[in-house]
Structure 1
Amino acid sequence: MLLAALGYVALLAGGPALAAAAAVGVGLALGAEVDLIGYLTARYYGLARYSRMFGVFYAVFMLGVGASPLMMAWLLAVTGGYTAPLLVAVALLALAAALLLSAPGSRPRPRHRSAPSPPSKGCTREVGDLRRRLRAADRHPGRPDRARARRRRDPAVAPRR
């Protein structure tokens, strides 16, 4: 966003001489809005609420995309030049960049459950067994515990109901 604002400032200051540099700055910076909306939505709201929040943010984004040419054309008609519309664009891009930079960091989400701590000396045998099974389940998610696998393999062991 700051790169686009600098491109607009270059266009204001240099006119047609800096138009190519301004176009590169604006094109590089303003080409990634939807990608940024998707990334930040997933980062701040998680995948459980992603579709609804992305829809809301994308709708607001599209309203801005639709209204901005009308606003810029109105400013051009009122002022008679491109200076005011470009200054408004620079101010709005600077505001967007400030809001993005001041956003709180999203909370880190652990990829895996942390392994339980080893049993203390006062723990009973059952608690130790439970902790070992939890650790095994963490290492092999989705894999049945050994007792169920043994019941399936050995017909002499009665199935548990």
Structure 2
Amino acid sequence: MKRNIIIFIFLILVATSFKLRSKTPSGILNSDSRVLIEQVSDTPSENKIPVRNLEEEVRNLESLENEALSKSDTATLYDIWSPDLVVNTAENKILTFADFKNGFERNQTKPFSYEKVIEKITISENVAVVMGYEKAETGKKSAKPSESRFTDMWIKDGTGWKLTARQCTSLAVAR
């Protein structure tokens, strides 16, 4: 009986120690360790945020990004964009965070408005994928609005969700 109690206490200590060491620097639990912890831990469910709340959080960030882009609000954009941001644009150009930053600094990036319709948000661990379509207006009276499909990838780190990758396909080119 004593032996079983000692083994049980040892297993709890190992699980607790493993739980503390199994988090990434940003505080997100590694997926490999989650299975073991759920099997050994005395708390069957951690305080997980429901997926609906996470979807709403990502949806709000998409809206915030749209508003910041239309106003060229670089402070907001730099806050929600990852420094590792990479974008495959509708013009078939690959741009990075540094490219956008240079464009804003040189006033080459003009404010524009666009309507974004989110069709699907999928969240897995600390990654959110947002898919939908958008209609952008450049502000030129002669130019007609461009329509495109998009996929945005947000990654949650220790400071929150960051837009890390974006792919955009022009529907005019695809037709």
The TM tier, using the shorter chain, reads under 0.3
Query: Structure 1 length as normaliser, TM-score?
Result: 0.27
TM-score (norm: length of structure 2): 0.25
Q: Determine which structure has more spread, i.e. the larger CA radius of gyration.
A: 1
Please identify which structure carries the higher strand content: 2
- Say which structure, 1 or 2, has more relative contact order (CA 8 Å, 6+ apart): 1
Structure with the higher helix share, 1 or 2: 1
